[in-house]
Amino acid sequence: MKLNDDNRLDTLLRSSLTARPEPQIGSDLAARVMAAARSEARAERNGVAQRRTRGERLTWVVALLATVANIIAGALHIVAIRAAAQVTDTAFTTSASSSADTGPLLLVGVVGLGLALIYVALQRSLSNDGDAFELVMN
Amino acid sequence: MTTTDAITDAMPSVARLRAREPAAFTWLVAHCERIVLGLAQALGLHGADLDDAAADVFLAVYRALPSFEARSAVTTWVYAIACRVLQRSAIKRRRTRGVSFDEARHAAAGALSADQCSIDRERDEAIWAAVAALEPRSAMAVELHYRRGLNIEEIAATLQCPGGTVKTLLFRARAVLRNRLAELEPSR
């Protein structure tokens, strides 16, 4: 077989490759592929749901921790003002004790409102995109 | 009714293909399966590997269908995806396992019926194995040109490269095949 001639090589390749038996595969390929795609989509949806549940749990944990920190800060504020009142004169004590009544309540209210706003914003972004928390955490 | 029953000769509309209607997808698989399997076979795949490769290709097609823009024929679009998927998996396979000429020859052996002339059979198996041992893009260009009769422009559209590159791939493939087959000559 002289293969230096391109035409002869072309002819040989053509005749050999066209003589090759067509490959056969088992069952209905289209049905198998569609089933695989469906199960993949289902797995993907489950993954998103799991991420969303994890995000919601994190929201509650963050909100709870922030509330506890807020209460502790308020209590410390009251203790500090009462301690300060004990070492000052009566006139000042009167004004300080009045501030001791309203100050912590105002602080708790403002911080609580801020936390509520953050919580609502996080929940909204979570409902738009299940990955919001993952993004925040990353 | 099975999905195969739903196959008709009429090509489904682009909208139906993009909507991934089962009947439209079944039509697409039925019309492209032979060429896609041939490409996988040209890369030396057989048995379960061939089956898996075909499933991977059509899964990629199924995922990409909503973004099909009908800039080319849907079959050309499918073959382009097939080439990309098969080339990637062939490179990965060669990197991890390596595909030698002998392995490809072993894979090609036994594909012919027993009544075929043994000399022809041996020569054909050597050629198929030599093609499978080529670089993946060259093997696919040879398959599309010599086995399926596609011209340079059609192969360029499928491999998504310029016509000049296809000519180079075929030229190099011919040089390698010529040497490989000449090496086999004295052993006969």
Percent of chain B exceeding pLDDT 90 equals 39
pLDDT value, residue A95:
52
pLDDT value, residue B82:
93
Closest partner residue to A17 among B50, B54, B147, by Cβ? B147
Task: Return d(Cα A7, Cα A120) in angstroms, integer.
Answer: 76
The answer, yes or no, to whether residue B73 has pLDDT greater than 50, is: yes
pLDDT value, residue B103:
60
pLDDT value, residue B40:
92
B96 touching chain A per CB within 8 A:
no
Contact state of A17 with B177 under an 8 Å Cβ cutoff = no
B 106-135 → A contacts, CB under 8 A? 111-112, 120, 123-124, 127-128, 131
Which comes out higher in pLDDT, residue B30 or A102? B30
pLDDT value, residue A67:
78
B123: closest CA of chain A, how far (Å): 8
**Which residue ranges of chain A lie beneath pLDDT 70?**
1-4, 26, 52, 87-106, 123-138
Tell me: the pLDDT tens digits for B132-142?
A: 989 899 999 99
Q: What is the pTM of this model?
A: 0.62
Mean pLDDT of chain B: 82
Helix (H, G, I), strand (E, B) or coil at B102: helix
Contact state of A20 with B55 under an 8 Å Cβ cutoff = no
Give the pLDDT band of residue B78 (cuts 50, 70, 90): very high
pLDDT value, residue A122:
72
Contact B33, B78 (CB under 8 A): no
Give the pLDDT band of residue B4 (cuts 50, 70, 90): very low
pLDDT value, residue B6:
44
The answer, yes or no, to whether residue B186 has pLDDT greater than 70, is: no
Task: Return d(Cα B162, Cα B156) in angstroms, integer.
Answer: 6
- B130 burial via Cβ count (<10 Å: 0-12, 13-18, 19+): buried
In A1-138, alpha helices (H): 6-18, 29-86, 90-128, 132-137
| Mean pLDDT in residue range B165-173 | 94
